[in-house]
């Protein structure tokens, strides 16, 4: 889900003003001794969107495919081997096998770091991913089977996003994967926690099934620690991955909190998603301020209550009454950790938020059922919560839903947990030799974080079963463009470089001193020539109008995907930070004619221009007019 940001009327940081195409005087630059000995190097850096993506997606890469800068490889007939949509989808799924799901529900930390915000607003990355994920499902795209079988068997414990991500990446490497899931269905929070109006269940089923189609074996209804021990898995498999999640909601620790109509938010959502909730009741209080609390409140508004005579016509809004839903939260609305977009949605749907209160008791009737939640007003002073005496009051209710945290069930695997009840792991996600852990068991975070854990753990498991030392994870842990891979893909001869060399404008191996710093450097907006980019307002996904008047029984998906035309137009706003996108500025502005295009038969993305160092005088103009920060002045240092 996109997080709205302020849209400035005018671009902010600009090295040059709009319409000013005259570069700085080369005379002033070329005769400065500190500059004149330096020549341009071509540096691939990580854009902040990729650097902020917990799943490690090559975001710049697939957006450049969407906008037509990077082309699909050619087949034997000289025509593209696949459509641009499939090529972009395969680039996404190199890191994340759930683009249709995450394009809808990921809070998009990638967009928060987008350098385009220095002009008029971030690129709608989620909306592009949403389009590509849905397109792939409609086309019935499948993942390529592994090129070879390794003979290694890996046990995955937990069929949520983390376990499925690990299974996907391990199966692609040729390992046999057996997935143990205690429930009757795979998907974890995707299946049992996400309401259908946020992500339709058929979308979840399609992206889960695609992973199973790789040859992943699943064993449902088996709880590790109860039906089979961790020691047995270690004995029977070459490695184990624990993606057990934090599937238990925290209980309400106040007098009366044990009433039968006090339920945790995860159980409430699970019952809803499994069709076990016919109604929520007339008055519902949700405790908490996170995304789970917002989902619970929205679901309660959709379910509604039985009519006054107790009747309920299932599946019909007319067969039920509207429910009064209140969210009680201990801080202000502005401090709620939930997505601002989700907070706005529940308010529009008629939910009332009562901030700055804490529960002190559940009031029960003679039968022991909750009839009200007693709360007390609080204030915050120097980051400390202070209760206000004499402010106790009751919020009437028929149901209390607690969304105040999640707990990991370590039954039978206690040796893997720490004092906080979370996983005990090192930086490679190892808890003990041959046992890796990821997802919410490490710390309840984003779904996309759990997906990233599955990829990272798969890398470690792959090395572990091969008898290799585990690599130290890079500073910037993302999938990024590989010049070598692109050259091989496009049939350009590639040669290895054994040592640093100068004058690479004539080298067949590393033309124009290409240097990939993606694993260690994220390029900021200040290193780009933002004056190159015209103002272009973000194309936002439309949303269905769901408000207090039509929310009852409404399970229509809120978000509407962009069209193909809109998706490509939004992709055009990407600035390709840290990577050449063939704008020709360096060629046009070079006063010495030292920059030229690579011969077409040797050109690829990342290998588009080169510098003739015999002509270069180190004037810096090419660097100054490079929109993406791809050109750096470093050769000669």
117 contacts 141 by C-beta, under 8 angstroms:
no
pLDDT exceeds cutoff 70 at 600: yes
Q: What is the pTM of this model?
A: 0.90
Pair 238, 253 in one domain: no
* Claim to verify: residue 373 and residue 420 sit in the same structural domain: no
Please indicate, yes or no, whether residues 93 and 177 belong to a single structural domain of this protein: no
**Among 68-72, 484-488, 538-542, where is mean pLDDT lowest?**
484-488
Residue 318 predicted with pLDDT over 60: no
Query: Nearest-CA neighbor of 35 among 452, 616, 628?
Result: 616
Instruction: Give the separation between CA 528 and CA 360, rounded to whole angstroms.
Output: 54
Is 477 a member of any domain?
no
Among the listed residues 95, 86, 84, the one whose alpha carbon sits nearest the alpha carbon of residue 58: 95
Asked if residues 86 and 139 have their Cβ atoms less than 8 Å apart, the reply is: yes
| 135-149, 175-189, 194-208, 310-324: least confidently modelled range | 310-324
Q: Is residue 148 part of a domain?
A: no
Q: Determine which of 159-168, 449-458, 484-493, 537-546 has the lowest per-residue pLDDT on average.
A: 484-493
Within this chain, do residues 327 and 370 fall inside the same structural domain, yes or no? yes
| pLDDT of res. 185 | 95
| HSE of 49, CA atoms in CB hemisphere, 13 A | 24
Segment 401-423 shows an average pLDDT of 92
Looking at residue 99, what is its pLDDT?
Answer: 98
Domain containing residue 384: CATH number: 3.50.50.60
Tokens of 545: 């109008």
Residue 399 sits in the same domain as residue 253:
yes
Would you say residue 12 has pLDDT above 70?
A: no
DSSP letters along 391-447, please? --EEEE-SEEEE-S-EE---TT-GGGB-TTSSB---TTSEEETTEEE-GGGT----H
Higher pLDDT, 633 or 211: 211
Domain end: 381, 407, 433, which one? 407
H or E element that contains 588: helix 585-589
Model confidence band, residue 79 (pLDDT cutoffs 50, 70, 90): very high
Q: What confidence category does residue 327 fall into, taking pLDDT thresholds of 50, 70 and 90?
A: very high
pLDDT at 33: 41
Give the percent of the chain with pLDDT over 90. 73
Please tell me the predicted confidence (pLDDT) of residue 604. 85
DSSP string, 257-322: TT-TTEEEHHHHHHHHHTT--S---SEEEEE--SHHHHHHHHHHHHH-B--TTS---TT-GGGSB-
Supply the pLDDT for residue 506. Answer: 60
Residue 255: partners with Cβ closer than 8 Å, 6 or more residues away = 361, 362
> To the nearest whole percent, how much of the chain has pLDDT over 70?
89
Q: Is residue 539 a part of any domain in this protein?
A: yes
pLDDT at 500 over 80: no
Does 618 lie in the same domain as 489? yes
Q: Where does the pLDDT of residue 401 fall: very low under 50, low under 70, confident under 90, or very high at 90 and above?
A: very high
Same domain, 400 and 253: yes
Mark which of 361, 383, 407 sits at the end of a domain. Answer: 407
Same domain, 114 and 171: no
Residue 396 lies in a domain: yes
- Give the pLDDT mean for 588-597: 92
pLDDT tens across 83-102, in order?
Answer: 999 999 999 999 999 999 99
Q: Is residue 532 domain-resident?
A: yes
- The pLDDT score that the predictor gives to residue 176 is 98
Handedness of CA 585, 588, 592, 595 (dihedral sign): positive
How far apart CA 512 and CA 516 sit, in angstroms, is: 12
Evaluate if residue 35 carries a pLDDT over 90.
no
pLDDT, tens digit (0-9, with 9 covering 90-100), for 161-203: 999 999 999 999 999 999 999 999 999 999 999 999 999 999 9
Q: What is the pLDDT of residues 50-78, one digit of tens each?
A: 999 999 999 999 999 999 999 999 888 98
d(CA 637, CA 513): 13
* Average pLDDT rounded to a whole number, residues 487-492: 82
Q: Quote the domain boundaries for residue 171.
A: 153-247+408-465
Looking at every residue in the chain, the average pLDDT score rounds to 89
At 317 the pLDDT is 55
| Per-residue model confidence (pLDDT) at position 2 | 46
Per-residue pLDDT band at 496 (split at 50, 70, 90): low
Calpha distance 348→65 (Å, rounded): 37
Domain presence at residue 13: no
Residue 437 scores a pLDDT above 60: yes
Count of domains for the chain? 3
315 backbone φψ class: left, alpha, beta (φ>0; ψ -120 to 50): left
SS (H, E, C) 88-134: HHHHHCCCCCCHHHHHHHCCCHHHHCCHHHHCCCCCCHHHHHHHHHH
Same domain, 419 and 543: no
* CA triple 196-198-199, angle to 5 deg: 65
Identify whether residues 157 and 285 lie together within a single domain. no
Q: Closest Cα to residue 239, out of 418, 474, 459?
A: 459
Mean pLDDT confidence for 527-552: 94
Is it the case that residue 449 has pLDDT exceeding 80? yes
Whether 185 and 170 share a structural domain? yes
pLDDT of residue 49: 96
Q: Is the pLDDT of residue 564 over 70?
A: yes
Mean pLDDT of 140-164: 97
Instruction: Please enumerate in sequence order all residues whose Cβ is within 8 A of that of 207, keeping only pairs 6 or more positions apart, or say none.
Output: 97, 98, 99, 100, 101, 133, 137
Whether residue 372 sits in one domain with residue 262 = yes
* pLDDT at residue 69 in the model: 93
Helix axes of 125-139 and 201-212: crossing angle, nearest 10 degrees: 70
The tokens for 440 are 């919410």
| Model pLDDT for residues 268-293, shown as the tens digit of each residue | 999 999 988 888 889 999 999 999 99
Q: Has residue 363 been placed in a domain? A: yes
| Residue 471 maps to a domain | no
């Amino acid at each position: 889900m996109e997080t709205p940001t302020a849209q400035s009327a005018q671009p902010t940081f600009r090295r040059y003003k709009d319409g000013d195409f005259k570069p700085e005087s080369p005379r002033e630059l070329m005769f400065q001794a500190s500059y004149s000995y330096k020549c341009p190097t071509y540096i691939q850096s990580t854009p902040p969107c990729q650097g902020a993506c917990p799943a490690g997606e090559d975001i710049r890469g697939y957006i450049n495919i969407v906008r037509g800068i990077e082309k699909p490889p050619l087949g034997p007939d000289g025509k593209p081997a696949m459509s641009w949509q499939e090529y972009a989808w395969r680039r996404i799924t190199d890191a994340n096998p759930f683009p249709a799901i995450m394009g809808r529900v990921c809070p998009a930390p990638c967009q928060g770091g987008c350098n385009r915000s220095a002009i008029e607003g971030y690129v709608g990355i989620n909306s592009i991913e949403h389009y590509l994920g849905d397109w792939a499902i409609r086309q019935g795209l499948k993942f390529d089977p592994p090129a070879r079988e390794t003979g290694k068997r890996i046990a995955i414990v937990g069929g949520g996003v983390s376990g499925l991500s690990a299974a996907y990446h391990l199966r692609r490497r040729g390992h046999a994967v057996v997935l143990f899931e205690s429930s009757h269905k795979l998907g974890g929070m995707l299946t049992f926690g996400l309401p259908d109006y946020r992500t339709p269940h058929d979308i979840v089923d399609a992206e889960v099934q695609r992973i199973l189609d790789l040859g992943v074996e699943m064993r449902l209804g088996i709880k590790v620690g109860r039906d089979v021990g961790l020691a047995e898995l270690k004995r029977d498999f070459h490695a184990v991955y624990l993606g057990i999640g934090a599937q238990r909601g925290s209980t309400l620790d106040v007098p009366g909190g044990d009433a039968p109509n006090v339920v945790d938010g995860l159980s409430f959502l699970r019952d809803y998603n499994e069709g076990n909730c016919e109604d929520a009741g007339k008055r519902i209080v949700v405790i908490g301020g996170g995304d789970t609390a917002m989902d619970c409140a929205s679901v309660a508004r959709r379910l509604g209550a039985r009519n006054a005579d107790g009747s309920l016509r299932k599946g019909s809004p007319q067969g039920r009454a509207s429910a009064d839903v209140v969210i009680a939260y201990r801080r202000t609305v502005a401090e709620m950790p939930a997505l601002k977009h989700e907070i706005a949605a529940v308010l529009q749907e008629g939910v009332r938020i009562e901030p700055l209160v804490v529960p002190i008791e559940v009031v029960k009737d003679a039968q022991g059922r909750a009839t009200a939640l007693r709360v007390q007003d609080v204030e915050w002073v120097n980051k400390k919560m202070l209760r206000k005496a004499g402010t106790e009051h009751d919020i009437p209710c028929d149901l209390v839903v607690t969304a105040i945290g999640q707990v990991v069930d370590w039954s039978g695997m206690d040796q893997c947990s720490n004092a906080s009840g979370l996983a005990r792991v090192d930086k490679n996600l190892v808890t003990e030799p041959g046992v890796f852990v990821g997802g919410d068991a490490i710390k309840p975070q984003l779904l996309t974080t759990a997906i990233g854990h599955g990829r990272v753990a798969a890398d470690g498991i792959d090395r572990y079963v091969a008898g290799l030392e585990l690599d130290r994870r890079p500073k910037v842990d993302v999938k990024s463009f590989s010049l070598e891979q692109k050259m091989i893909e496009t049939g350009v001869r590639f040669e290895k470089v054994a040592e640093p060399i100068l004058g690479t404008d004539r080298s067949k191996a590393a033309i124009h001193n290409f240097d990939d710093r993606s694993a260690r450097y994220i390029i900021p907006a200040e290193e780009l020539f933002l004056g190159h980019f015209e103002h272009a307002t973000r194309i936002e996904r439309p949303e269905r109008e769901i408000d207090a008047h039509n929310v009852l029984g409404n399970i229509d998906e809120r978000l509407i995907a962009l069209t193909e035309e809109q998706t490509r137009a939004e992709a055009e706003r990407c600035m390709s930070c840290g990577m050449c996108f063939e704008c020709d500025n360096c060629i046009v502005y070079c006063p010495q004619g030292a920059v030229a295009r690579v011969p077409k038969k040797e050109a690829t993305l990342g290998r588009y221009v080169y510098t003739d160092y015999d002509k270069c005088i180190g004037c810096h103009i090419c660097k100054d007019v490079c929109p993406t920060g791809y050109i750096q002045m470093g050769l000669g240092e």
